[in-house]
């Protein structure tokens, strides 16, 4: 019996040593991993559908904005109007940053709405909720719901480990985009690393890439004229997050004054980056009053 007890203690000590080696002092795992973050988004979308937030793991100090306006969660309009979750949902998960975002189609009394949701998660509690909804071409400039029937193949390609760029390099590649918008005639001028077949979608409509018919020269995003963007004014940039596993950088871009009344274009733009190149840009766009376009977030 003593021999068996001693053997058990030795095995237990070995197991503890292996566990300690695999999780050395000072290393920390994300408080909410990919599936946890994805689950937070799912729970939130179903809360909208059920018009019930009681099951949400909310921080006591949660901050909420709807279309860039700060509101108590109970006063959020879309919380009362969603009647169905659609088939399109594109998630962006930043484990290191504790950020979960999604571009999704929902329905409000049968009418489609393009909804962007961003959640900040700390210690498995939601501390921030940001929402922007686009319901029509008047609100989004472009509104091609047929182009958002399902998430795209390119954005959901899972790069192999050796294809993935570092977080810093992926972000550097994506930031060539606003640099080009502000300072160049084409993205090639700032050496934006687009592949020859890279494309850009805006609210489901192709606006650059091999299949583009929007304007002459739009078939090549790198050399496409940026003159149309200059009319929108200078763009400011907020880094929303980096999905390191999928090679996606999510930015929020805000353009200058668009019309005399002061409206401004704001966009969540996702950049697919791997092998050192940008392969796709998919944007979710909304027109907001100038004073609200930055969204109220740092």
pLDDT digits over 206-237, tens only? 999 999 998 899 999 999 998 877 777 788 99
Close Cβ partners of 80 (under 8 Å, ≥ 6 residues apart): 51
User: Is residue 188 within 8 Å of residue 198, measured between CB atoms?
Assistant: no
- Residue 211 covered by a domain: yes
- Residue 129 covered by a domain: yes
Residues 83 and 168 in one domain: no
Q: Residue 249: what pLDDT?
A: 98
In the chain, how many domains are there? Answer: 2
Q: Residue 19: what pLDDT?
A: 41
Mean pLDDT of 116-127: 97
- Domain span including residue 130: 34-135
- Residue 105 covered by a domain: yes
pLDDT at 151 over 80: yes
Q: Return d(Cα 71, Cα 77) in angstroms, integer.
A: 10
Residues 165 and 205 in one domain: yes
User: What's the pTM value of the predicted model, to 2 decimals?
Assistant: 0.88
Q: Which of 100, 135, 170 is the last residue of a domain?
A: 135
pLDDT tens track for 178-214: 999 998 899 999 999 999 999 999 999 999 999 999 8
Close Cβ partners of 234 (under 8 Å, ≥ 6 residues apart): 182, 255, 256
90: how many CB neighbours lie within 10 A of its CB? Answer: 20
Residues 176 and 268 in one domain: yes
CATH of the domain at 46: 3.10.450.50
- Residue 252 covered by a domain: yes
- Residue 11 covered by a domain: no
């Amino acid at each position: 019996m003593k021999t068996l007890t001693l053997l058990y203690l030795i095995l237990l000590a070995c197991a503890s040593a292996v566990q300690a080696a695999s999780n050395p002092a000072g290393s920390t795992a994300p408080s909410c991993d990919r599936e946890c973050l994805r689950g937070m988004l799912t729970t939130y979308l179903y809360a909208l559908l059920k018009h019930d937030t009681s099951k949400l793991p909310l921080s006591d100090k949660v901050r909420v904005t709807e279309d860039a306006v700060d509101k108590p969660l109970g006063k959020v309009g879309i919380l009362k109007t969603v009647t169905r979750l659609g088939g399109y949902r594109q998630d962006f998960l930043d484990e290191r940053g504790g950020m979960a975002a999604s571009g999704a189609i929902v329905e409000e009394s049968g009418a489609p709405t393009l909804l962007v949701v961003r959640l900040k998660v700390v210690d498995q509690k939601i501390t921030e909720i940001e929402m922007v909804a686009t319901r029509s071409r008047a609100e989004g400039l472009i509104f091609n719901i047929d182009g958002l029937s399902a998430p795209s193949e390119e954005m959901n390609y899972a790069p192999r480990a050796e294809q993935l760029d570092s977080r810093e390099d992926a972000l550097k590649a994506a930031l060539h985009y606003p640099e080009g918008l502000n300072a160049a005639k084409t993205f090639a001028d700032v050496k934006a690393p687009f592949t020859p077949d890279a494309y850009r979608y805006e609210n489901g409509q192709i606006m650059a890439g091999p299949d583009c018919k929007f304007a002459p020269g739009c078939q090549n995003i790198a050399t496409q004229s940026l003159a149309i963007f200059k009319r929108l004014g200078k763009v400011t940039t907020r880094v929303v997050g980096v999905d390191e596993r999928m090679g996606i950088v999510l930015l929020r871009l805000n353009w200058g004054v668009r019309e005399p009344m002061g409206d401004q274009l704001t966009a969540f733009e996702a950049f697919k980056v791997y092998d050192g190149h940008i392969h796709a840009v998919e944007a979710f766009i909304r027109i907001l009053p100038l004073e609200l376009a930055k969204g109220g977030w740092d």
